[in-house]
Structure 1
Amino acid sequence: MPESLTLANLLDDAALLSLEHQLHLAEVLGDHDWNVDLREQRFEFTGSRPIACSRFHLLGTAAPSTGSWLWAWANPSGFPAPVTQASLTLRDFGHRYGIAELSSPEVPFSALPGSPAEPYLAAAVLTEAAKAVTGLWTSYGGDAGGGTRVAFLVEHPAFLLPPPEPARVVRVIQQALTDLHLSDHRRALYGYAVRRGLGAAFDANHTRLTLTGPAFTATADFDHLGRVHGVNATLGS
């Protein structure tokens, strides 16, 4: 990664690929519940399709009582090292690139982009950043009691994305542009294409990005502020 990097960059890097993974996770799990035993290092989904995660990573907790996020590595309760290792990786990454939100033990909600008031929104911000750093793209958040939200990265072969499918790629792009707050549209779309194994090329003026994949071509046009103002896709052979 470049020597200059911000939290906003990480959020853009994660946005679309994270969205696609979460859509896929919802399809895989269907109606479900979950349970975790941190000491025994066990995370399971129950319901129509029970799944015991092959690995999971505790990132941290967002508490309404303090209005802050606490990274797992800094939690005084103490947890097994394999469960908190990802949070330590993020701490070290934050120190390296000067991203205080990753390296500080506790992060006030007010210090995060948009100053989210709700714990689940604060947890979502730092979970997205964690994905861009770790390369682990599937997350799960739940109620830890008292309004506190806990966030995990979860792993299982069923959570891996299938090969890119044209209609799904177009859906992800359109939904991301509608529902997500992207600081840098060019960075977000280009990064998604590269990470998803699609072809990606800007024109000479960086006003158009062309994405290509199996039976799929899409062009995104950018306005003078760098925002996408139009996407045209062609599906089929």
Structure 2
Amino acid sequence: MTYAALQPLADRAALFVALRQDALSAAADALGEHRWDADMAQGTLTFTANDDPSRQLVTRAHLIATIAPGPPSLLWAWAHPSGDPQGIATQLHTYGTAHGITELTTPEVPFPAEASGDEWIAQAAHTVGGAAVELTGRSPYYSAPVGNGTRAVFLLDAPLAPLTVAVAVVALPRVLSGMDLSDARTAVWDLARLAGWTLTWTDESFSGAIVTDASGTATFRFDEQARISGIESTLTAQG
């Protein structure tokens, strides 16, 4: 557990986030060995192939927060010297104000008492990234090591294909194998919301969810412990 107040937001978006992070990883991996560079003045984060600098993945980067070991704290972008006080991160502040979440409205949030180490900071960055996707609808995010144990969390406007039902059903078996969803029904509902799909429940006991977009339909089945037990799909032929 990192920031307890932010974790439920990240958990709700977990399935959508995992699929969008998977797409970003695939796009970056297509470059082969590569590096990343952030240009705060231009507001970009660029992945560049090591063997051919002309091969790049250029994204519009929105700083959300930095998480630093000294002093051990999270600093929101709207209060950061390198951030934009009117930028995307203010949407998290607005939500925090409306829902009484002080972790989202305090400029600099200290680490919990038990927190320490690079691994905790890396996990906290993923929690912040997931919460930012949930509250803004933008994705994917990138957790960037920026020196001295500090990580910066960016939301990216990246040239990735939209997340369709057809794309999701191909990736989901692999993505789900590495996940432990805290609430699979909510995660599927939020996946549909964030992806812009239509969702209907199969029955009043919520034993299944049907998601649909122009690319096809997928039915998620849930077992007695509300875990995803199967996914069936009917995809639209692409001409």
Looking at secondary structure, tell me which structure has more helix per residue.
1
Query: Which residue does 1:206 correspond to in 2?
Result: 206
Kindly provide the amino acid, as one letter, of the partner of residue 79 in structure 1.
S
Task: Map 1:144-155 onto structure 2 (within 5 A).
Answer: 144-155=146-157
Query: Which residue does 2:160 correspond to in 1?
Result: 159
Task: After superposition, give the CA deviation of every residue in 1:129-186 in whole Å (9 maximum; x if it has no partner).
Answer: 0111111111112111111111111113x22425431xx4235444554433433221
Mapped to 1, the partners of 2:171 and 2:109 lie a distance apart of 30
Are 1:79 and 2:82 matched, yes or no?
A: yes
Are 1:25 and 2:24 matched, yes or no?
A: yes
Q: Structure 2 unaligned runs (5+)?
A: none
The percentage of counterpart residues that share the same residue type is 28
Deviation at 1:123, TM superposition (A): 0.9
TM-score w.r.t. structure 1 length?
Answer: 0.78
SS across alignment from 1:110: coil
SS across alignment from 1:86: coil
Q: Structure 1 unaligned runs (5+)?
A: 1-5
Deviation at 1:117, TM superposition (A): 5.1
The answer on whether the counterparts of 1:57 and 1:86 sit within 8 Å (CA) in structure 2 is: yes
Deviates more, 1:44-53 or 1:135-144: 44-53
Kindly provide the amino acid, as one letter, of the partner of residue 159 in structure 1.
L
The equivalent position to 1:137 in structure 2, one of 111, 136, 139, is 139
The answer on whether the counterparts of 1:62 and 1:148 sit within 8 Å (CA) in structure 2 is: yes
The equivalent position to 1:51 in structure 2, one of 40, 49, 57, is 57
Q: 1:176 to 1:23 in 2, by over 3 A?
A: closer
Mapped to 1, the partners of 2:223 and 2:26 lie a distance apart of 32
The answer on whether the counterparts of 1:39 and 1:80 sit within 8 Å (CA) in structure 2 is: no
Deviates more, 1:192-201 or 1:88-97: 192-201
SS across alignment from 2:13: helix
Paired residues, what number?
Answer: 222
SS across alignment from 2:165: coil
Mapped to 1, the partners of 2:193 and 2:139 lie a distance apart of 15
Mapped to 2, the partners of 1:27 and 1:216 lie a distance apart of 24
